[in-house]
Amino acid sequence: MKKVCTTIFVLLILALDSNLALSQVFGGTRSGTPSTNSSNIEAASPSAYYYGRGEGVLIDVNLWGQVGKPGKYFVPYTTDLISLISIAGGPTNQAKLDEVRIVRYAQRDTTVVEKIARVNIIRFIEYGEQSHIPPLVRGDTVIVPGDALSVFQTFVSIASSISVVINTFLLIAVINDRI
């Protein structure tokens, strides 16, 4: 009976810890539900436009990295980069705002070319310069990178999750030897 209770207890701890680790590393939960600002919109292919209630034509953009809620967003076509990051809860403390990238796919003749625009949002924050903030286009992927501290925190989070699993197996082995 002790072995069954111990095993159930250990599995419960592992399940809770893995969900916590996933939330810490990827900024979300296990549900996988993407973040959107319109609740009545279904998943889209990148070639589709949507018409939102009272919002006009919506475009889909991906927002990755050091923001409050990364994910796929359906925003009005007039939304700029600053507004998109604001909709997602703003940048985190670890965000490197001077190295934000916008990945955009353009078609030249018959080939698809990836174009990366680098944006320094610090200029906007310090001087109010909006001339360097490009407009968003359907299918853009915005990447807000993190500083070295965020990489270290991710590493520590993963290492602590692995150590919990190893400690659990060691605990089970010790308990089984004593019974």
CA–CA distance, 116 with 142 (Å, rounded to integer)? 10
pLDDT at position 24 is 36
3-state percent helix, strand, coil for the chain, nearest multiple of 5: 40, 25, 35
Residue, of 88 and 134, whose pLDDT is higher = 88
85 has pLDDT over 90: yes
Confirm if 165 and 158 have CB atoms less than 8 A apart: no
Where residue 43 falls among pLDDT bands split at 50, 70, 90? very low
CA–CA distance, 106 with 94 (Å, rounded to integer)? 31
Quickly name the fold that domain 34-146 has. Answer: Outer membrane lipoprotein wza fold like (3.10.560)
- Mean pLDDT confidence for 1-10: 61
Residue-wise pLDDT for 87-104, tens only, equals 999 999 889 998 999 998
pTM of the predicted model as reported, rounded to 2 decimal places: 0.57
pLDDT at position 23 is 38
- Mean pLDDT confidence for 53-66: 84
Confirm if 124 and 82 have CB atoms less than 8 A apart: yes
Where residue 106 falls among pLDDT bands split at 50, 70, 90? confident
CA–CA distance, 157 with 163 (Å, rounded to integer)? 10
Lowest mean pLDDT among 11-15, 52-56, 58-62, 154-158: 11-15
pLDDT at position 144 is 93
Domain regions of the chain by residue span: 1-30+147-179, 34-146
39 has pLDDT over 50: no
Residue, of 84 and 107, whose pLDDT is higher = 84
